[in-house]
Amino acid sequence: MNSNVRGEVPGSPCLKTLVQSGSVQRFENQFSIFEKDNKNKLIKHESNPQPNPTMRQTITETVLKSLDMSVNPCDNFFKFACGGYIKETNPPSGDQWAFGRPRNRIRDAVKAEIQSIVKQSDQIPLKKAKQLFQSCMDQQTIEIRGVEPILKYLSALGGWPVLGTWDSKNFDYIDLLAATKPVLKDWQFHYQMSGVVIGMTVQKDFGEKGPYAIYLDQPRLGQFDFSGLPNQEVYRLGRHNLYNKAYEEYLVDVAVSLGAHPNIAKKDMCDVVEFETALAKIMLFEEERRLVNIRYNKISILEMSIRYPKIDWLRFLRKILAIANIHVTYQTKVVLWASPYFDQLSSIITKTSKRTLANYILFRAIQPLLPSVSKNLQYVNLRYIATVNGLSEPKLPQRSDFCTDIVIEQMDWVTSRIFIENKTDSDQTLAYVNEIRGYVRFILTDMISKSKWLSDRTKSQVLKKILSVEDKLGFPEEILHDSFLDFYYRHFDMGKYFFENMVESLTENYKIVLLKLTNPPKNEWLLRPGAVNAWHNLATTSIEIPLGIMSDPFFENYYSHGMNFGGIGFLIGHEYAHGFEVIGMKFDWNGLIRRYWSDKSAFKFADKADCYVRQYSQYYIPEADVYVTNGNKTLNENLCDNIGVRAAFYAYKKFKHDRNISEKVPGLPFTDDQLFFINMARIWCSNSSPLFIRKVPLIDHHTLPRLRVIGPLQNSPEFASTFQCPRGSFMNPINKCGFW
């Protein structure tokens, strides 16, 4: 590989698991048919209507705007595909344009509806959403009240010690943990659950088919909690590391803004950070948490109490579940999801003063509520976020945008309904995306069936699993029924004041999570239809591709087929592949943790995976002067990117073959095969500060956006053939990693 080509991210991919180029034509003529399974049949849909001149112009402008045509695509395809975007976004924002654009469109559609006056004819949930929005927009009242609401909230919980309004005699950390749990955002998509000191949620039981279970886990920590990503590694960098220093200053700023004396705030918040660092040091790393077959341990609350007697587990769980009128006993089973963490937790709590425990728990409780009081505290939040991302001094967002985002976050089924009703081409979109999905699954099934390294028994089990995946596209039918929304939001009680409305909505949303324990959902969507995201739910053996992500740049009905397969097709392939990465391979077709891979196949899987670990551990990012060395941490996502792009490309080739079509977008000097890869790259366009680039490997199990382009395409002989990249060039290294 030429590591000196204008280049960033030099570093040679690994030398193992070689896939030689020149295989494009050979593969595309070897499709197998699986007609017996209805899920795998290819559905012919009259999609992609001939675009009118305006649409053609839109496609041309959209593509050309993001490109830097002065860059040779074989030298650095990320710079080629995203260079135009990078030049336009200066200073760096860290935002991913591809995800931001559809989110902004959804926000605009929702805002247009909820900012209108409440009408008598409005459905009750819509009235509540409008009330939440209006209370947020009432800045005059918010500023007049100042920090009073948050001080009143703290007082009701016994007072925040740093403010001097606290009596240690009445302090009970179990009571405080339980009382504050409802206002914490419940992250269910990542590897750590919400909670302070003790993570706890209700979700599908990974050991038994059907029921939901209480999970006890290591918690989320305060740093980067707004990101929803694992963050314990940051604390191990030392107190004077930039991130930890900024975090401690942030805690002090919050305390002082609420009335604490600066010197007391500095001392108390230093103790808080030391306590949280102690928690971080006993938490499992993300790589360790992949061992779900070992981590799953279902035991009774009585057994928990015997194993960890210094924590009153029954009282803790009863107090939390009481808000949903759920009763548990010593015989109730829970899933212990992080035994090593709990093995050491009691010792840390015992050594920590009551004052520090109370200061920490109450800070974490008010953390999600800070934006709902005065501008000053909202600015404190934004300044911290800007500091750790290396961004310029922050500006308060447009208030109507901020308030719309709040409503989308807290009442997402209502706002998703608004979005669906405003999207006029939903039927055509869903039919076309479903067709793309069918082709992608068809190709993945074909790849697996032709695999030479899987044992016959393992191969049959893997095929059974992919054919068992339930595809949830767009939105669930019930969202269109008024009765569903009426029932879902029946207990949301919105009033005049924004702060109280936030506490109410956070609490009610958490209550809905808890109620899964007694009323398991029959058709659960963890992603809402308006989400610009995608998800593979291993516990339900399903993928969720919401309507929200079915728009530019991932998909448009008037896009060329290559662009759509390179966008939404790649994402669908990526989500299917999650069923067969390091965690996914441990879940069977019923969504249960079970060993079904043979030892020989599992060993070969590890051997192939090791190639990607080494490849993604040796990229250098010059503007941040940092080597990205977390290939093991990002392994699952990297595997899915590599599998997804190859499956989507061959799905597109078969799609064209079946229709005997050849496309070229007028005004663009690219073949449609080239547009496939260009659009795959465009969805990762971003412009990040050096500090942001250094931060991502610490907190994210996804690699940097640029490496999500460069990594998979360096391994792709199909890409090299399409752009005629010389053998040994940066984008066509001699040695490549391969999987199926």
- Structure confidence by residue, pLDDT tens digits, 26-85: 333 333 333 333 444 444 444 555 556 677 677 888 899 999 999 999 999 999 999 999
pLDDT of residue 700: 87
Assess whether 475 and 545 both reside in one domain: yes
pLDDT of residue 96: 67
pLDDT of residue 93: 61
Residue 402 within any structural domain of the chain: no
pLDDT tops 90 at residue 630: no
Helices (runs of H) and strands (runs of E) counted in the chain: 32, 9
DSSP calls for 696-738: HHHH-SS--HHHHHHHHHHT-HHHHHHHTPPTTBTTB-SS---
Assess whether 449 and 314 both reside in one domain: no
Q: Which helix (H) or strand (E) holds 580?
A: none
Assess whether 443 and 588 both reside in one domain: yes
Residue type, position 412, single letter: D
Assess whether 101 and 151 both reside in one domain: no
pLDDT tops 60 at residue 3: no
Residue 379 within any structural domain of the chain: no
Residue 202 within any structural domain of the chain: yes
pLDDT of residue 292: 93
Q: Percentage of residues in the chain with pLDDT exceeding 90?
A: 76
- Structure confidence by residue, pLDDT tens digits, 449-476: 999 999 999 999 999 999 999 999 999 9
Q: Which residues contact 638 (CB under 8 A, 6 or more apart)?
A: 612, 615, 616, 631, 703, 711, 712
Assess whether 97 and 155 both reside in one domain: no
pLDDT tops 60 at residue 526: yes
Residue 736 within any structural domain of the chain: no
DSSP 8-class letter at 59:
H
Q: Are 60 and 560 a contacting pair, CB within 8 Å?
A: no
Q: Are 636 and 583 a contacting pair, CB within 8 Å?
A: yes
Residue type, position 582, single letter: V
Residue 381 within any structural domain of the chain: no
pLDDT of residue 474: 98
Assess whether 354 and 433 both reside in one domain: no
- What pTM did the predictor assign? 0.91
CATH of the domain at 264: 1.10.1380.10
Residue 440 structure tokens? 């992608």
Residue 400 within any structural domain of the chain: no
Assess whether 532 and 672 both reside in one domain: yes
Question: Residue 232: pLDDT band by 50, 70, 90 thresholds?
Answer: confident
pLDDT of residue 10: 33
d(CA 698, CA 708): 17
pLDDT tops 90 at residue 19: no
pLDDT tops 90 at residue 386: no
- Structure confidence by residue, pLDDT tens digits, 329-368: 999 999 999 999 999 999 999 999 999 999 999 999 999 9
Question: Residue 25: pLDDT band by 50, 70, 90 thresholds?
Answer: very low
Assess whether 357 and 459 both reside in one domain: no
Strands, DSSP E only, in 75-204? 199-204
Assess whether 151 and 100 both reside in one domain: no
215 pairs with which residues across the strands? 201, 335
pLDDT of residue 728: 98
Of the listed ranges 168-177, 226-235, 259-268, the one predicted with least confidence? 226-235
Residue 198 within any structural domain of the chain: yes
Contacts 24+ apart (CB under 8 A), 287-293: 287/632, 287/633, 289/191, 289/338, 290/582, 290/583, 290/636, 292/206, 292/583, 292/586, 292/587, 292/593, 293/586, 293/593, 293/595
Question: Residue 107: pLDDT band by 50, 70, 90 thresholds?
Answer: very high
Domain count within the chain:
2
What is the arithmetic mean of pLDDT over 629-658? 96
Assess whether 366 and 459 both reside in one domain: no
pLDDT of residue 145: 98
Question: Residue 588: pLDDT band by 50, 70, 90 thresholds?
Answer: very high
pLDDT of residue 43: 43
What is the arithmetic mean of pLDDT over 574-592? 97
d(CA 255, CA 249): 10
What is the arithmetic mean of pLDDT over 697-720? 95
Residue type, position 581, single letter: E
CATH of the domain at 655: 3.40.390.10
Q: Are 458 and 596 a contacting pair, CB within 8 Å?
A: yes
C-alpha count within 13 angstroms, C-beta hemisphere, residue 499:
24
Q: Coil, strand or helix: which one is 507? A: helix
Assess whether 582 and 671 both reside in one domain: yes
Most confident of 182-186, 554-558, 699-703: 554-558
Assess whether 564 and 439 both reside in one domain: yes
Question: Residue 228: pLDDT band by 50, 70, 90 thresholds?
Answer: low
- Structure confidence by residue, pLDDT tens digits, 425-434: 999 999 999 9
Of the listed ranges 85-94, 510-519, 674-683, the one predicted with least confidence? 85-94
Span between the terminal Cα atoms of the chain, in Å: 24
pLDDT of residue 336: 96
Q: Which domain holds residue 577?
A: 24-39+53-105+410-417+425-723
Q: Are 474 and 426 a contacting pair, CB within 8 Å?
A: yes
Question: Residue 505: pLDDT band by 50, 70, 90 thresholds?
Answer: very high
Task: Identify which of 345, 344, 352 has the alpha carbon closest to the alpha carbon of residue 271.
Answer: 352
SS (H, E, C) 285-311: CHHHHCCHHHHCEEEEHHHHHHHCCCC
Average pLDDT of the chain, as a whole number? 90
pLDDT of residue 665: 83
pLDDT of residue 612: 98
Residue 46 within any structural domain of the chain: no
d(CA 284, CA 633): 12
DSSP 8-class letter at 605:
H
